Amino acid sequence: MSKPVFTGSFTQQEAIPEAAIDAAVAVMRSGRLHRYNVVPGEAGETALLEQEFAAFTGAKYCLAVASGGYAMGAALRAIGVGPGDKVLTNGFTLAPVPGAIAAVSAEPVFVEVTDQLVIDLGDLSAKIERSGARVLLLSHMRGHLCDMDRLMEICDAAGVKVIEDCAHTMGGAWRGVPSGRHGLVGCYSTQTYKHINSGEGGLLISDDAEVMAKAVMLSGSYMLYGKNGAVPPVDTFENVKYVTPNVSGRMDNLRAAILRPQLADLPAQIARWNALYHALEDGLRNTPGLKVIERPAEEDIVGSSIQLLLPGASADVIGAIVDGCLHRGVELKWFGAAEPVAFTSRYDSWRYAPAQTLPKTDDILAGLLDMRLPLTFSVEDAKLIAEIIRDEVITALPQAAE
């Protein structure tokens, strides 16, 4: 009997909603794509998106920018990070995070992660003391939130400013507080594989007026900051507008028009993602040799991807599982490979950072598999994918079949 095969695409996103297409066409017909090219009395799509995202997160201020990576770089510059400064960040993250640190000529200091895929708070405390770093660029990697209350206690006590990379947690929360609202700045991505899709794009939020004024100037406001949608009072800019360089990275009205209807739909989309996630999780739980990452009750998740652990499995066994699943239509990514493959690069492949050793993180990544859950999938698809993964794990792991 032939084994079941999945025929869906792991890179096919849903179509842009009709309301967003209509809004985008209206912008194109106007010819006013630049965020500051608006008629008198018109807010513009980008300014409206900033207002709406500030309201969505509960932040005072919001800035729409060209990418999530740009948002992180602007945040680092706005809080004064510069050449030679040390910036703490997770050992398990994606390249744009240490890249943002390196882009301001600062030095990434990697912190161990736990088998829950969150930053190790014990190692964070030790690295703060050892490195003297006073900034943490915290990556909520693949949508996993650590104990944010405890993290902020540690950082506040040490005088460490926290920037949150929320590329994978837009719409998520810890104990009811939205992701991005614990630290000084929250940064988000609207790249295609994130929770709202404009191809590329980013958002930056903060309650700190001076930090936001600097970020707005950095983004390239050309003294037109009064036209932004969710910025501090105009007089806040007096002390920063002549001394903050223009590092242009604005979002345009076309992308903002595409995003606004998606933001309005996001709560419903999150419910759909979580239904897929839980169906897959339930199908994989109790698979011999495979560990499902149980999510804490304090965490409100957005299940747009899922991570699985194969503790102690050899590279050959993991390769067999990945190949077997791929042969049956299921695309798994492995973060334990010695060389970068697509987005699955590891901290030791970012050679612009000083060489560092993270043995705990190495052990975890050695057995870590990752899979996207696009909303083009159904719950029945998720159940079939779980069946395929479970079957391939049991086939490849001798002890699993016993």
Domain assignment present for 2: no
Asked if 284 and 355 sit in the same domain, the reply is yes
Which contacts (CB < 8 Å, 24+ apart) does range 347-353 have?
347/91, 347/92, 347/93, 347/98, 347/110, 350/95, 350/98, 350/99, 350/102, 350/108, 352/98, 352/102, 353/98, 353/101, 353/102, 353/107, 353/108, 353/110
**Residue 399 confidence (pLDDT):** 59
Instruction: Give the three-state DSSP class for 137.
Output: strand
| Residues 162 and 294 occupy one common structural domain | no
Judge contact between 371 and 330, C-beta under 8 A: yes
Question: Which pLDDT band holds residue 401 (cuts at 50, 70, 90)?
Answer: very low
Q: Is residue 6 part of a domain?
A: no
Whichever domain contains 97, its CATH number is 3.40.640.10
In-domain check, residue 24: yes
175: in domain: yes
DSSP H/E element including 281: helix 253-284
For the chain, the average pLDDT equals: 96
- Write down the pLDDT at residue 12: 94
For the chain, how many structural domains are there in total? 2
pLDDT at 402: 47
Kindly state the tokens that stand for 92: 């398990």
d(CA 107, CA 89): 10
Q: Which two tokens stand for residue 154?
A: 């540690």
Q: Which residue has the tokens 């698809």?
A: 381
Q: What's the one-letter identity of residue 227?
A: K
CA-based angle 125:127:131, to the nearest 5? 130
* CA distance linking residue 264 with residue 55, whole number of Å: 11
State the amino acid at position 273 in one-letter form.
W
Higher pLDDT, 398 or 387: 387
Q: Which of 216, 243, 261 is a domain's end point?
A: 261
CATH number at residue 304: 3.90.1150.10
Confirm whether 363 is domain-assigned.
Answer: yes
Shared domain for 220 and 271, answered yes or no, is no
Residues 192 and 174 in one domain: yes
Instruction: Return the beta strands (E) in 152-304 as ranges.
Output: 161-165, 173-174, 177-178, 185-189, 202-206, 291-292, 299-300
pLDDT in tens, 123-138: 999 999 999 999 999 9
Residue 134 is part of which domain span?
18-261
> Would you say residue 34 lies in a domain?
yes
Give mean pLDDT, residues 18-43: 96
Assess contact for 303 and 373: CB atoms under 8 A: yes
What three-state secondary structure class fits 176?
A: coil
Same domain, 208 and 323: no
Domain boundary among 261, 287, 307: 261
Residues 226-250: b if buried by 16+ CB within 10 A, e if exposed:
ebbbbbbeeebbeebbeebeebebb
Ranking 24-28, 143-147, 334-338, 387-391 by mean pLDDT, the lowest is: 334-338
Statement to judge: residues 125 and 248 lie in one domain: yes
| Closest residue by Cα to residue 276 from 254, 255, 295, 302 | 302
Identify whether residues 157 and 200 lie together within a single domain: yes
Q: What is the pLDDT of residues 244-299, one digit of tens each?
A: 999 999 999 999 999 999 999 999 999 999 999 999 999 999 999 999 999 999 99
222 and 345 co-located in one domain: no
Q: What is the full DSSP assignment across 349-394?
A: G-TTSPP---HHHHHHHHTEEEEE--TTS-HHHHHHHHHHHHHHHH
Beta bridge partners of 371: 306
In 249-336 the beta strands, taken as DSSP E runs, fall at 291-292, 299-300, 305-309, 333-334
Same domain flag for 236 and 107: yes
Distance CA 129, CA 133 (A): 8
Q: What is the 3-state secondary structure (H, E, C) of 22-35?
A: HHHHHHHHHCCCCC
Is 7 inside any structural domain? no
Q: What is the pLDDT of residues 188-227, one digit of tens each?
A: 999 999 999 999 999 999 999 999 999 999 999 999 999 9
Q: Give tens-digit pLDDT for 337-396.
A: 888 888 788 899 999 999 999 999 999 999 999 999 999 999 999 999 999 999 999 999
> Is pLDDT at 116 greater than 90 in this prediction?
yes
Looking from the CA of 383 toward its CB, the CA atoms found within 13 Å total 4
- 124 with 107, same domain: the answer is yes
d(CA 185, CA 165): 9
Rounded distance between C-alpha atoms, residue 389 and residue 330, angstroms: 8
Cα–Cα distance between 176 and 217 in angstroms, integer?
32
In a shared domain, residues 254 and 280: no
Residues in a beta bridge with 137: 89, 163
Q: Show which of 212, 240, 261 is a domain's final residue.
A: 261
Give the tens place of pLDDT for each residue, 32-90.
Answer: 999 999 998 899 999 999 999 999 999 999 999 999 999 999 999 999 999 999 999 99
Tell whether 164 is covered by a domain: yes
Shared-domain flag, residues 27 and 76: yes
